DNA sequence: AGCATTTCTTGCCATAGGGTAAGAGTGCTC
DNA sequence: GAGCACTCTTACCCTATGGCAAGAAATGCT
């Protein structure tokens, strides 16, 4: 399973079979249970996690202290807060498991070594960042151009695991609306 | 001037004076005038531009064909659309000058060479991406947690050049509101 | 099973911001 | 310097979403 997941994630033309072997070997297993806080706000992130199964969310708080869910992570996704990991600063978000699950972690130091030793990995990392950057840019455009209902239906279609496992309030804060409004939207749809 | 701007931008502990020399030498001058479309939607971006002076905006269109300004770039900033440059895909946005100005460009091929030859540059690139990623993530959080007025005041305080040079309609679409609303907000403030 | 807690729904009214259109101000062009 | 195009303001009314609160449903704990 480890091979299947990781060779899927680290797919890149410049990463040879040999390189891939080194990368895979550098990952350690990690499992977690529902509700567990995997990484906590205030600490510096020292690893990232490639998800094999389960659902994880990242969240922060607004000035009123309400939780705002900023992202969800599912299978084959990389659970990370880049600012903390690469800038070696304190996490500004919490990462919490919404279901039981497991995956593979790699530490900052080991990743750093491979990043400079394997040209394909630095290319891969750049592409990963590029995609993630695009996602967030798109998200901020979507918030201003689409209605809450459209954005909700988008999740229903493209990320149904979120609907299945995350409580309404978390989905609502991710969409930028209140749980009350999301409840009404649901009613309206059905 | 070239040295001042570029050594400021490419500041990183792992970039030696020698490395910096190579990086600076790889940049070509580029000037532009108000209203000019520097890079056009549909083409693959083949370089990026470090701004010495002037103001540039990136914009796209929503499904109704209205322009949406997605970003503004000022002095010392890197004018780029990462998805197009690094993924070698067609630009999804236009980049247009709001004022006369100039800066320094570096081509994809040359950057690519230096990226792999100079470890400090790949670190620098990763940090740059990290910051940009954070900016967009923050922007999407701000849109859902702050009122349009608060976001406008934020620009007034932190990016006053935008207020000075960009027409109201572009600022409004950047904020995610209509020009009508922004006009009311302005009135309300004064 | 029984109780407590959290999650979700619904109703009432409030408000930020949108849609449209008219008019004022500004600057460009021939 | 008259006409034109663009930008900005303002007024009218409308809609999506919020705030609050009560109740219903689901979940978890002992």
Chain A residues inside the 8 Å CB shell of B58: none
- Mean residue pLDDT of chain B comes to 94
Taking residue A12's Cβ as centre, other Cβ atoms within 10 Å add up to 17
Asked if B141's CB is within 8 angstroms of A82's CB, the reply is no
**CA nearest to B137 within chain A:** A136
CA distances from A184 to A34, A83, B47, B135 (A): 28, 36, 48, 32
**For A91-96, what is the mean pLDDT?**
94
Quick one: pLDDT at residue B189?
A: 85
Chain A residues inside the 8 Å CB shell of B136: 133, 136-137, 139-140
Quick one: pLDDT at residue A66?
A: 86
* A183 CA vs C17 C1’ separation (Å): 22
Asked if B141's CB is within 8 angstroms of A60's CB, the reply is yes
Q: Give the minimum alpha-carbon distance from A100 to chain B in angstroms, rounded to a whole number.
A: 27
pLDDT tens by residue, B1-23: 899 999 999 999 999 999 999 99
- pLDDT above 70 covers a percentage of chain A that reads 100
The domain made up of A2-118 is a member of CATH 2.60.120.10: yes
Strand D within 7 A of B147 CB: no
Asked if B83's CB is within 8 angstroms of A134's CB, the reply is yes
Strand C within 7 A of B99 CB: no
Asked if B176's CB is within 8 angstroms of A134's CB, the reply is no
pLDDT tens by residue, B143-185: 999 999 999 999 999 999 999 999 999 999 999 999 999 999 9
**Per-residue confidence at A125, pLDDT binned at 50, 70, 90?**
very high
pLDDT at position A93 over 90: yes
pLDDT tens by residue, B86-115: 999 999 999 999 999 999 999 999 999 999
- Could you name the CATH architecture of B2-135? Sandwich (2.60)
pLDDT tens by residue, A45-89: 999 999 999 999 999 988 877 899 999 999 999 999 999 999 999
φ/ψ of residue B101, rounded to 5: 175, 180
Chain A residues inside the 8 Å CB shell of B132: 133
Taking residue A98's Cβ as centre, other Cβ atoms within 10 Å add up to 23
Asked if B68's CB is within 8 angstroms of A144's CB, the reply is yes
- DSSP code of B42? T
* B36 CA vs C28 C1’ separation (Å): 18
Quick one: pLDDT at residue B106?
A: 98
pLDDT tens by residue, B36-82: 999 999 999 999 999 999 999 999 988 877 899 999 999 999 999 99
Token pair in block for residue A36: 């567990």
pLDDT tens by residue, A2-32: 999 999 999 999 999 999 999 999 999 999 9
Instruction: Give me the helices (H) in chain B, please.
Output: 2-9, 17-25, 82-87, 108-117, 119-145, 148-158, 160-165, 168-175, 179-189
Burial of A137 per CB tally in 10 Å (0-12, 13-18, 19+): buried
pLDDT at position A127 over 90: yes
pLDDT at position A113 over 90: yes
Domain ranges of chain B: 2-135, 146-190
Handedness of CA B64, B78, A125, A100 (dihedral sign): negative
pLDDT at position A117 over 90: yes
Beta strands in A10-156 (DSSP E): 28-32, 37-39, 47-53, 56-61, 67-73, 78-79, 94-97, 101-107
């Amino acid at each position: 399973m480890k091979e299947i997941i990781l060779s899927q994630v680290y797919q890149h033309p410049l990463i040879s079979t040999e390189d891939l072997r080194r990368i895979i070997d550098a990952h350690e297993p990690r499992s977690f249970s529902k509700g567990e806080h995997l990484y906590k706000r205030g600490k510096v992130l020292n690893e990232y996690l490639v998800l094999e199964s389960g659902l994880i969310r990242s969240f922060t708080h607004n000035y009123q202290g309400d939780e705002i869910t900023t992202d969800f992570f599912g299978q084959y996704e990389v659970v990370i807060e880049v600012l903390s990991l690469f800038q070696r600063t304190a996490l500004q978000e919490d990462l919490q498991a919404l279901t039981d699950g497991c995956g593979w972690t790699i530490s900052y130091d080991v990743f750093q070594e491979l990043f400079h030793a394997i040209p394909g990995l630095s290319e891969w990392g750049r592409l990963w960042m590029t995609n993630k950057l695009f996602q967030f840019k798109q998200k901020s455009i979507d918030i201003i151009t689409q209605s809450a209902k459209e954005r909700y239906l988008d999740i229903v279609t493209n990320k149904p695991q979120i609907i299945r496992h995350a409580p309404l309030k978390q989905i609502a804060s991710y969409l930028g609306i209140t749980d009350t409004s999301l409840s009404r939207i649901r009613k309206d749809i059905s």
